[in-house]
Chains A and B, each alone.
Chain A
Amino acid sequence: MIENRIDYYPTHEHQGIKFRRGHALPFGATMVANGVNFSIYSSAATSCTLVLFERGEAEPFAEIPIPDEFRIGNVYCMIVFELDYERLEYGYRMDGPYNPAQGHRFDPTKILSDPYAKVTGGRDTWLAKPNWDNIYPYRSRLAFEDFDWENDHPLETPIEDLVIYEMHVRGFTQHPSSGVKNRGTFSAIRAKIPYLKELGINCIELLPIYEFDEWENSRESPTTGEVLVNYWGYSTVNFFSPKAGYAATGKFGMQVDELKTLIKELHKAGIEVILDVVFNHTAEGDHRGHTISFRGIDNKTYYMLTPEGYYFNFSGTGNTLNCNNPVVRNMVLDCLRYWAADYHIDGFRFDLAAILGRAPDGSPLSNPPLLESLAYDPILAKCKLIAEAWDAGGLYQVGSFPAYGRWAEWNGKYRDSARKFLKSESGMVREMVQRLIGSPDLYSQRGPTASINFITCHDGFSLYDLFAYNEKHNEANGENNNDGANDNNSWNCGWEGETDDPAINFLRHKQVKNAFAILMVSQGIPMVLMGDEVGRTQKGNNNTYCQDNELNWFDWSQLEANADLYQFARRMIQFRRHHPVLRSPTFFQYWDYASSGFPDISFHGTKAWNCDWSESSRSFAFLLCGDHAKQGIVKDDMVYVAMNMYWNGLHFELPALPEGKRWHLVANTDMGYGEDSFDVGQEPELENQTDFLVGARSIVILIGK
């Protein structure tokens, strides 16, 4: 029996608390028989004190200086006995030099969160007003590892088969129209799983769910007077703890169970879960920021510092995590392994991932050890790894991100090309074709599965706004409209903002449908922004990071109001998932290796087999041969897609099909609700099998079967 082991009896006592020498690994607080093993690293602290609180109490009930003989190398560790696991909150005081020029900022007056805490309390209910005088606002707690996963397992869906849905936990259900209990929480997402299944997506990518402080940099809106908050959450307080305020049970400290329950239920529905993780900076800001954890534990280890001891700011948020320091690198690895193993997470999307390839002095590394470690890690071996391959310090690595055969990327060039093509810019045909075939110009050694294709994401215009606004309208953010990107490649279709003009509104809806069609017929992995399928608007705001209101919330009444968009989006996703020829794991070879009489892909125009590649061209078509689907392993229909972004309709001559096959209509974005798309298996056969009038700024999709 573990209770009888000699090393689980106390040897010391302080203020009535019994304890003994601890184990250096694992870091963090780990439950052992009768006690808790505490372990924390600091390379330069001269002493470390464990501070213990009853849950929610203003003052600690004990402070135990960790005896120096308990220190192993640079690790302070101690087992403390007879603690109430449920009610315990703990932190540390670290003493050491305060010498910023040397990189040290120790302050023993501060109580510090454990970087390895598995639960963090203090912001338990979203936007509940904090006690600003709290001496320890972000409180480390213990997590239990007794969740009943039943037979759950990460789904390991081939990445080329994913349709990703980028979602904000709160924004998805917080709108009163969501009609679910516990709006804005993990639990509420669970209630909406039937919707996600009906839409057809098979992966959700959650904006940050690590514990962050929504109150960080909070202020009043100059236009509405309401409080502006850290809504997106790209500012981590603790990397191992789920955000308590996203859990209906956060006030009971059960956010771990609630999130795991959501993941288990999503997996049962065939939906993977990818986390958007932020390892490039923390919530501690620059030298003027709060000391929460890392700064007070080991500033020089955790942050990239200038020679003068200030913070490098490659993240644009004040500090930069020192990811290629071996200690920090191990923390990142430990963290991701924990989420993969304990939460069954299917993949990770790394915010500003280019930073992860910078050396401690900020210079880009040719062989970044962290990225390599992640790529070859045994526990993460089946996880999807997705990079946002740029940072705020000017490093742009789309196409050149160190991938080690494992990493996919948010393809920013896909977004830009699709937007320019959709607004009828000249000279975009060749560029658009590159993006449609999986961007071989960017990923020649990696294949189309390196490309996460998207036209919109949380950062920027929503899809509807892309066709309703020429300019950003960010006044509500209180930064004089200076924040947010200026190069949006958007087009308002003739009027800035809302209008009653039916022709403009029809065109906007058509453009949204065109965008969905492009996304779903592209090789690579499509990512849809939450709400784009129902025409969600942010009223022209392209940087809604601080808006906890209807600018960000999914308005479920739009499901009815924009039923045409929803139906089209749903059918396009269904179409993609039904046709493997759209989801190749490898690039096209441009020849008939399946002996079908057709090459795997061919390009066309108003004349079949004759594509206009000229600068002035704004239209083209392509034909995918179903006999080549998944490298010829499976059989599929012929898929023909004509894209006409010219401002007049054009007759496209259709390529002749093999004998016995006939052209059927899948989608025509020039048509109205009810006639613009058809369910799989319900596609009507064309009367005219030789040519098709593709309307102005329209896309037509046919299948030959």
Chain B
Amino acid sequence: MSFQILAEAKKVAKITLIGEVDSLSAREFQKEIERLAVEQPDELVLFVENLTFISSAGLRVLIFAKQKMGTHLAVYMVKPQESVVETLEKTGLHHSINIVDQYL
């Protein structure tokens, strides 16, 4: 399986993304975000060390998350690979996301 979601929702929502987020797996990702949004978390933490590719659909889910959960939501992306960071930068999304090496 190239893609998994492990989530828990308190005030901090955590999701682990593995493999590739293409347009199909992005739908699963979005459903998970919608589910988490009900809990109104303050922080969304994405563990992406083993994420090798994120498609435009996947990036749109990040935008969706901000819109769905409110602008107060802090989004963390933990240990993204260089190619993922580049995609975020080219599309300007890195301004909306905190890229960190670890989440404590």
A181: Cβ under 8 A from any B Cβ: yes
Interface string of A168-190 (1 = CB under 8 A from B): 00000000000001100101000
For the complex, what is the distance from the CA of A265 to the CA of B55, rounded to whole Å? 23
For the complex, what is the distance from the CA of A253 to the CA of B56, rounded to whole Å? 7
For the complex, what is the distance from the CA of A146 to the CA of B91, rounded to whole Å? 12
Chain B binder among A254-262, A450-458, A661-669: A254-262
Q: Is A86 a contact partner of B23 (Cβ separation < 8 A)? A: yes
Q: Is A182 a contact partner of B90 (Cβ separation < 8 A)? A: yes
Q: Is B26 a contact partner of A86 (Cβ separation < 8 A)? A: yes
Q: Is A252 a contact partner of B92 (Cβ separation < 8 A)? A: no
Measured between beta carbons, the chain B residues less than 8 angstroms from A87 are 23
Interface string of A592-635 (1 = CB under 8 A from B): 00000000000000000000000000000000000000000000
Q: Which residue of A150, A181, A257 is within 8 Å of B91 (Cβ)?
A: A257
Q: Is B26 a contact partner of A254 (Cβ separation < 8 A)? A: no
B39: Cβ under 8 A from any A Cβ: no
Q: Is B90 a contact partner of A265 (Cβ separation < 8 A)? A: no
A241: Cβ under 8 A from any B Cβ: no
Q: Which of A55-105 contact B (CB under 8 A)?
A: 84, 86-87
Measured between beta carbons, the chain A residues less than 8 angstroms from B90 are 182, 185, 187, 247-249, 254, 258, 261
Interface string of B74-104 (1 = CB under 8 A from A): 0000000000001101111101100000000
Interface SS, A side: loop
A420: Cβ under 8 A from any B Cβ: no
For the complex, what is the distance from the CA of A137 to the CA of B75, rounded to whole Å? 39
For the complex, what is the distance from the CA of A182 to the CA of B89, rounded to whole Å? 11
Instruction: Indicate whether A252 sits within 8 Å of B55 (C-beta atoms), given known contacts A86-B26, A187-B90, A265-B92.
Output: yes
- Closest Cβ–Cβ distance, residue A475 to chain B (whole Å): 38
For the complex, what is the distance from the CA of A252 to the CA of B92, rounded to whole Å? 15
Q: Is A257 a contact partner of B23 (Cβ separation < 8 A)? A: no
- Closest Cβ–Cβ distance, residue A31 to chain B (whole Å): 12
Q: Is B89 a contact partner of A148 (Cβ separation < 8 A)? A: no
Chain A binder among B7-15, B44-52, B58-66: B58-66
Interface SS, B side: helix
Q: Is B56 a contact partner of A252 (Cβ separation < 8 A)? A: yes
Q: Is B63 a contact partner of A148 (Cβ separation < 8 A)? A: yes
A404: Cβ under 8 A from any B Cβ: no
- Closest Cβ–Cβ distance, residue A421 to chain B (whole Å): 45
Q: Is A254 a contact partner of B64 (Cβ separation < 8 A)? A: no
Q: Is A144 a contact partner of B91 (Cβ separation < 8 A)? A: no
B73: Cβ under 8 A from any A Cβ: no
For the complex, what is the distance from the CA of A148 to the CA of B96, rounded to whole Å? 9
B2: Cβ under 8 A from any A Cβ: no
Q: Is B56 a contact partner of A146 (Cβ separation < 8 A)? A: no
For the complex, what is the distance from the CA of A150 to the CA of B66, rounded to whole Å? 12
A583: Cβ under 8 A from any B Cβ: no
Number of B interface residues at 8 Å Cβ cutoff, please give it: 20
For the complex, what is the distance from the CA of A84 to the CA of B22, rounded to whole Å? 12
B18: Cβ under 8 A from any A Cβ: no
Measured between beta carbons, the chain B residues less than 8 angstroms from A257 are 56, 59, 91-93
Closest to A146 in B: B63
For the complex, what is the distance from the CA of A423 to the CA of B56, rounded to whole Å? 54
Q: Which residue of B91, B95, B96 is within 8 Å of A254 (Cβ)?
A: B91
- Closest Cβ–Cβ distance, residue B72 to chain A (whole Å): 14
- Closest Cβ–Cβ distance, residue B79 to chain A (whole Å): 21
Q: Is A187 a contact partner of B89 (Cβ separation < 8 A)? A: yes
Measured between beta carbons, the chain A residues less than 8 angstroms from B96 are 148
B57: Cβ under 8 A from any A Cβ: yes
Number of A interface residues at 8 Å Cβ cutoff, please give it: 24
Measured between beta carbons, the chain A residues less than 8 angstroms from B92 are 148, 257-258, 260-261, 264-265
- Closest Cβ–Cβ distance, residue B80 to chain A (whole Å): 16
- Closest Cβ–Cβ distance, residue B54 to chain A (whole Å): 9
Closest to B86 in A: A181
Q: Is B26 a contact partner of A146 (Cβ separation < 8 A)? A: no
Measured between beta carbons, the chain A residues less than 8 angstroms from B86 are 181, 248
Measured between beta carbons, the chain B residues less than 8 angstroms from A249 are 56, 87, 90-91
Q: Which of A1-41 contact B (CB under 8 A)?
A: none
For the complex, what is the distance from the CA of A146 to the CA of B92, rounded to whole Å? 13
For the complex, what is the distance from the CA of A635 to the CA of B55, rounded to whole Å? 55
For the complex, what is the distance from the CA of A261 to the CA of B89, rounded to whole Å? 9
Interface string of B11-35 (1 = CB under 8 A from A): 0000000000001001000000000
For the complex, what is the distance from the CA of A181 to the CA of B89, rounded to whole Å? 11
Measured between beta carbons, the chain B residues less than 8 angstroms from A144 are 60
For the complex, what is the distance from the CA of A147 to the CA of B87, rounded to whole Å? 15
Measured between beta carbons, the chain B residues less than 8 angstroms from A261 are 90-92
Q: Is B91 a contact partner of A86 (Cβ separation < 8 A)? A: no
Q: Is B63 a contact partner of A254 (Cβ separation < 8 A)? A: no
Instruction: Indicate whether A146 sits within 8 Å of B64 (C-beta atoms), given known contacts A249-B91, A257-B91.
Output: yes
For the complex, what is the distance from the CA of A87 to the CA of B96, rounded to whole Å? 25
For the complex, what is the distance from the CA of A252 to the CA of B93, rounded to whole Å? 15
Q: Is B56 a contact partner of A254 (Cβ separation < 8 A)? A: yes
For the complex, what is the distance from the CA of A568 to the CA of B95, rounded to whole Å? 36
- Closest Cβ–Cβ distance, residue A224 to chain B (whole Å): 32
Measured between beta carbons, the chain A residues less than 8 angstroms from B59 are 254, 257
Q: Which of A205-259 contact B (CB under 8 A)?
A: 247-249, 252-254, 257-258
Q: Is B56 a contact partner of A86 (Cβ separation < 8 A)? A: yes
- Closest Cβ–Cβ distance, residue A164 to chain B (whole Å): 24
Measured between beta carbons, the chain B residues less than 8 angstroms from A187 are 89-90
Instruction: Indicate whether A252 sits within 8 Å of B67 (C-beta atoms), given known contacts A86-B57, A87-B23, A260-B92.
Output: no
- Closest Cβ–Cβ distance, residue A250 to chain B (whole Å): 10
Q: Is B66 a contact partner of A148 (Cβ separation < 8 A)? A: yes
Closest to A144 in B: B60
Closest to B89 in A: A187
For the complex, what is the distance from the CA of A254 to the CA of B89, rounded to whole Å? 12
For the complex, what is the distance from the CA of A261 to the CA of B96, rounded to whole Å? 12
Closest to B26 in A: A86
- Closest Cβ–Cβ distance, residue B21 to chain A (whole Å): 11
Closest to B64 in A: A146
- Closest Cβ–Cβ distance, residue B65 to chain A (whole Å): 11
- Closest Cβ–Cβ distance, residue B86 to chain A (whole Å): 7
For the complex, what is the distance from the CA of A148 to the CA of B63, rounded to whole Å? 8
| 12 A-B residue pairings within 8 Å (CB atoms) | A86-B26, A86-B55, A86-B60, A87-B23, A146-B60, A147-B63, A148-B96, A247-B90, A248-B86, A249-B91, A253-B56, A257-B59
- Measured CB to CB, the residues of A under 8 A from B are 84, 86-87, 144, 146-148, 150, 181-182, 185, 187, 247-249, 252-254, 257-258, 260-261, 264-265
**A-B contacts besides A87-B23, A146-B63, A257-B91, 10 pairs, CB < 8 Å:** A86-B26, A86-B55, A86-B56, A146-B64, A147-B63, A181-B86, A187-B90, A248-B90, A253-B56, A254-B91
Q: Which 8 residue pairs of A and B lie closest in terms of their CB atoms, listed nearest first?
A: A261-B92, A86-B23, A257-B91, A86-B57, A187-B90, A254-B56, A248-B90, A252-B56
